[in-house]
Structure 1
Amino acid sequence: MGGRTEPKTETTESDLTYPSSGWTGFFRNHFGPSMLWALIGIGGSHIVIAPTMGATFGLVAIWMFGLIYAAKYGAWELGIRYNYGMGANPIEAYRDLPGPKNWALWLTIAVFTGMYTFITASVGMNSAAFVAALTPEWFTAPWAYVVFVGGAGALVLVSRYSLLEKALIGFTVAVGALVLLGVLVGPPSPERIAETAFAVPDLTGPAFVALFAAAAGFAPTGLSTSILIGSWSMAKEEGAGELRSKGLDPNDPAYHDYIRAWIRTGRRDFNIGYAFSFVLIVSMVILATNVLYPNPPTDDNLAFAIGSILSDSFGEWSYYAVLIGAFAALYSTVITLLDGAARATGDILPMALEDDSIDSERVRKLVVVGVVGVSSAMVLALGTVPVTLLLYVAAVLAVTEIFFYPANWYVVEKHLPEPFRPSRAWHAYYVVSLALVLAFGAMGATLRLGVIG
C-alpha cells in the first residue's frame, strides 16, 4: 500500500511513485517529519512558556497563542510548498537571494550553530531543573545539564534518523496524552473562565511584552525549522526529488499532477503536527489557568509549579508523572535541536563554500560536540535560571529568525513551476502574517534593548 504508479509517458523512462492518497497509506508511509518538527515546540514553549502565560493572564493567553500560530504558519507552509514542489530543501535556493554571494547560507549557518547553542542551553537548563527535582540535592541542575545534554549529544552522534524519529514520537505521544487527559478531568471553574477568557491585559506593560515576545519567538518553534523539516523530509527519501533524480523537468506539465499530489501530502503531514502542537499548548494554558493562576512559575519553583498542574485532577501521584513527562518533552527537544542543527549545518556548509569535497558527516559531528560543549560551559557559568534564560532567548529568537519567512517566499516565487506558486489569496495572507511577525520581532527587540521594562 506504499503508493500507486502512474502509466509511463513519452517523457520518462520509468514510472513515478505517487504518494498514498488514503489515510492508512499516509500514516504508514508519509507521516513523520511533522511530528519531529512538533517536538521542537513541545518543550520550551509548551512546558514553560504556555504555563507561565496561563498562570499570568489566564485563558486569554489562548487567543495570544492563536494569533501567533496563525501568523507564523505561512513561513512553514512556504517551506513545505518548496520542499515537495521541487523535491529539495529551500536552503538550496537561498544562494539565489539578492545580495552578496551566499550571504543567506552563512547567516543560516550562524543561526544553526550560534543561536541554536543558546536555544539548547535554555531548553536543556529547563530539562535539568526537572531532573534536579527528582534526584538528590547534591545533583544540581547545572551538573544535570552536563550529564544529560552530553548524553543527548552522544545519542545524536550514533543514532540513525529512523531510530531517533520513533523514540521522539513516543515521547510526544506520552506527554500529550497525559496533558489532554488532565484537561478533560479537571477544567477551570466557570468563574475562572468568565474572569480570564476575555480579560485583555495591559498591552504596553512590561509583563505582557516580555511574555508575548517570548511566546512569539518560541511558539510553536523558531522559523528556521522550515529548513530542518526540509532536511527530515529529504531523509525519508520521498517527494518530488524523484523527478530530480531521474533528470526530469518539474516545469513539464506531464508531471504537474505528480507534484500537486506531493504538495498535498507534505502539507497534510505538516498540518497534523501543527494542529497537535496548538491543541497541546492550549491544554497547557488551560491547566495552568486552573491550578497556577495568578502565580506563574519562577526560576526557584519551576519544577514544583509545573508538577502540580495535574494534582487537582489525579492526586499526588501525578506530580511525579508530570515531572517525568515534562523532562521527557524537554529532553526530546534537546535531542531534536542537536540533530536538526547539526544535520542542517552539515548540508549547508558545502554549499556556502561551494566545495562538494567537504565531509558533511564530520561537520555534523563537530557541530554536535561544539553545541554541547559551549552550552554546558554557559550553563555552569550562569547557574540555575531556567525560566529567565528561556524567556530571554525566546525574545531574541523573535527577532533573529524573521529572515526565514521572506526568504522562503522569495525562493517559492522564483523557482516553483507557475501552477504551484501561491494564489492571490495566499499572497494577501502572507502580507498580513509577515507584518505580524515583524511586529512580534519589534516587541522582542524593544524588550532586549531596554525600551520597555
Structure 2
Amino acid sequence: MASERAEDVGREASLEYPETDWRGFFESHFGPSMLWALISIGGSHIVLAPTLGGTFGLAAIWMFGLIYLAKYGAWELGIRYNYGVGSNPIEGYRDLPGPKNWALWLTILVFTVMYTFITASVGMSTAAFVAALTPEWFTAAWAYVTFVGGAGVLVLVSRYSLLEKALIGFTVALGVLVLLGVVVGPPSQEVVLETTFAMPDLTGPVFVGLFAAAAGFAPTGFSTSILIGSWSMAKGEGASELHEKGLDPDDPKYHDYIRAWIKTGRRDFNIGYVFSFLLIVAMVILASNVLYPNPPTDANLAFAIGNILSESFGDWSYYAMLVGAFAALYSTVITLLDGSARATGDILPMALEDESIDSERVRKLVVVGVVVVSSATVVALGEVPVTLLLYVAAILAVTEIFFYPANWYVVEKNLPEPFRPSRAWHVYYVVSLVLVLIFGAMGAAVRLGFIG
C-alpha cells in the first residue's frame, strides 16, 4: 500500500502544469483558438459582415454582438470538456440518451453532407475573388473546380503546410489592414447618426433572412467545437495527461491541476473569439462607410469587397483586399476539407464500434466526395456566391443547434463535480439556448418560405 502511494506521488510530481505568465502561455499553449478563428475569417467576415453592414449600416454591430454573446456557450462547454475530461466532446456523445450512437451518426451527417454545401458556398465566394484577379475566360466556375480540386489534392497528400502558412500570413495581414482601415477611414457622421441605433423591420424578409444567415455562419457553426477539440487534444494538455499516467481526475488532489488547465484552455479560446469579433466589427464599419446602403451582390461581390478599403488607403488597396480575401476564404476551404474528413474518419469507428476501420481511408474518401459533389453543385447553380452562402448559412442556424445542448449534457455527466457549470453559468446557458433556438426558427422560416 505504501509503495502504491509513493508511486502515485511520483506520477503526480511529474505532471506538467500550464505556464501562468503571458509569455509562457503564448510560447507553449496558444494556438487552437487561432486555427478556429481562421475558419471564421471566411464566409462570415468576408461575405456576411459586408452584406449586413452594407444593408443595415452600423446597426449590424449590435446584431453580431448578440450572436457572438449567445453562441459563446457552446464552445465554452467544449473547452471545459476538452481540458477537464481530457478528450474530445464527441467521445461523450456516445452517452447521450436515445438510440445507440445516434448522436455520432448525426455528427457524421453534418461533417459529410452539410460540410459539402458549406465548402461549396465558401469555395464559390473564393472563386469570385479568383475570377476578379484573372483573365475573363477564367470564370468563377473554372476557378472553383481548379482551386477547390487543388485543395482536395493538398489535403489528400497532407503536404500543404507551406501553403497553409502563407495563407495564414495573408489572412493575418488582411486582419491588420482591416483594423487599420477603420482607424484611417471611419464612417461619416451622417452614417453614424443614421444607422447606429436604427431599428430594422424585425419581421421583414430582409432582416430575418440576413440575421438568420449571420446566426448560422458567424463566427462559425457549432460543429467546430469538435474540430477545436481535436486541435486542443493534439497538444496533449489538460486531464488527458492524468489518463496517460493512470491517475483519477475525480481525485481532489488533482483538481488544482485540472482547474489550471481549464483556465488556460479558456484563455486561449477567448483570445481567438475576441479577435474574430473585433475583425467582424471592423468589416461592418468599413462596409457601412463604403457600401451602405448598397450591399454586395452575386454579380459584384469581389468588386464591392475589393473597394472596402479604398477610402482608407486608396486604389492600391483594391488588389490587397482581393488577395487577402482570397487567402482568408481559401484557407477556410482547406480547413473545412481537412477538418470534416478527419472528424468523420475518427467518428465512424466509434459509431460502428469497429476499431478495424481504416480511418485514413475514410478520410480520403470524404475529401474526394466533398470536392466532387460540391463542384457539381457549383457548376449546376452558376455564379451565385452571396445567394448560396446566405442560403447555406440560414440552414446552419437550424441544423447545428444540436451541438450546444449535447456539449452541455456531456459536461454535466463527465466532469468532476467542482468543474461543472455554476448556477450563473446555468442561467446563461438557458438564456443563450433560447436565443439560439429563436435564431434557428428564423432560419427555418426563411428556408420554408414562411418569410420571403
Q: TM-score, normalised by structure 2?
A: 0.96
Task: Measure how far apart 1:9 and its partner are.
Answer: 5.1
Letter in 1 for 2:257: Y
| Equivalent position of 1:4 in the other structure | none
Deviation at 1:8, TM superposition (A): 8.0
Q: 2:389: which partner in 1?
A: 390
Judged with a 3 Å threshold, the aligned counterparts in structure 2 of structure 1 residues 55 and 368 are, in CA distance, closer, same or farther, namely same
Aligned residue runs from structure 1 range 259-408, under 5 A? 259-408=258-407
CA distance in structure 2 between the partners assigned to 1:172 and 1:249 by the alignment: 42
Aligned pairs, number: 447
TM-fit CA distance, 1:412: 0.2
Which is further off, 91-100 or 238-247? 238-247
Q: Which moved more, 1:149-158 or 1:424-433?
A: 149-158
Letter in 2 for 1:190: Q
Q: 1:87 to 1:167 in 2, by over 3 A?
A: farther
Structure 2 residue aligned with 1:438: 437
Aligned 8 A contact 1:89 1:231 in 2 = yes
Whole-Å Cα distance in 2 between the matches of residues 139 and 221 of structure 1? 30
Change beyond 3 A, Cα 1:214–1:58 = same
Tell me how far apart the structure 2 counterparts of residues 420 and 343 of structure 1 sit (CA, whole Å): 29
Structure 2 counterpart of 1:121, one-letter code: A
Q: 1:350/1:168 Cα in 2 relative to 1: closer, same or farther (>3 Å)?
A: farther
How far apart are 1:339 and its partner, in Å?
A: 1.2
Separation in 2, partners of 1:295, 1:386: 17
- Cα distance 1:292–1:185, how it changes in 2: closer, same or farther (>3 A)? same
Taking the aligned partners of 2:22 and 2:162, their CA distance within structure 1 comes to 23
Moved more, 251-260 or 8-17: 8-17
TM-superposed CA distance for 1:159, in Å, is 2.6
Query: Which residue matches 1:60?
Result: 59
Cα–Cα, structure 1 residues 206 and 247, in superposed 2: closer, same or farther, change >3 Å?
same
Counterpart AA for 2:174: V
How far apart, CA to CA, are the structure 2 residues paired with 1:244 and 1:171?
A: 39
Distance change >3 Å, CA 8–CA 263, structure 1 → 2: farther
Q: What is the SS of the residue equivalent to 2:84?
A: helix
CA drift of 1:434 comes to 0.3
Per-residue CA deviation, residues 294-324 of structure 1 (Å, 9 max, x unaligned), is 0011000000000011111111111111011
Q: Which residue of the partner structure matches residue 231 of structure 1?
A: 230
Question: What's the offset of the Cα at 1:358?
Answer: 1.2
Determine what percentage of the aligned residue pairs are the same residue: 83
Distance (Å, rounded) in 2 between the aligned partners of 1:104 and 1:161: 32
Q: Secondary structure at the match of 1:351?
A: helix
Between stretches 416-425 and 341-350, larger displacement belongs to 341-350
In structure 2, relative to structure 1, the CA distance for the partners of 1:165 and 1:142 (3 Å cut) is closer
The alpha-carbon distance between structure 1 residues 352 and 27, as it changes in their structure 2 partners (threshold 3 A), is same
Runs of 5+ unmatched residues, structure 2: 1-5
Letter in structure 2 aligned against 1:360:
S
Query: d(CA) in 1 for partners of 2:58 and 2:448?
Result: 29
Please report how far the alpha carbon of residue 163 of structure 1 lies from its aligned counterpart in structure 2 after TM superposition.
6.2
Q: Which letter maps to 1:307? A: G
Counterpart residue type for residue 265 of structure 1: T
Counterpart residue number, 2:3:
none
**Aligned mates of 1:155, 1:205 — CA distance in 2:** 43
Structure-2 change in CA distance of 1:167 and 1:256 (3 Å) = farther
Matched residue type, 2:145: V
**1:249 maps onto 2:248 in alignment:** yes
Deviation per CA, 1:30-71, whole angstroms, max 9, x where unpaired?
111111111111010000000000000000000000000000
Q: Which residue of the partner structure matches residue 417 of structure 2?
A: 418
Map of 1:3 onto structure 2:
none
Tell me which residue corresponds to 2:171: 172
Kept after mapping to 1: 8 A contact 2:119/2:336: yes
Measure how far apart 1:153 and its partner are. Answer: 1.3
Asked whether the equivalents of residues 33 and 229 of structure 1 are also in contact (C-alpha less than 8 Å), the reply is yes
1:20 and 1:162, CA in 2 relative to 1: closer, same or farther beyond 3 A?
A: farther
Give the partner amino acid of 1:10. V
* Secondary structure of residue in 2 paired with 1:12: helix
**Larger mean Cα displacement after TM superposition, 237-246 or 417-426:** 237-246
- 5+ residue gaps, structure 1, are 1-6
Distance 1:396 1:207, change over 3 A: same
For 1:203 and 1:71, the matched residues in 2 are separated by 18
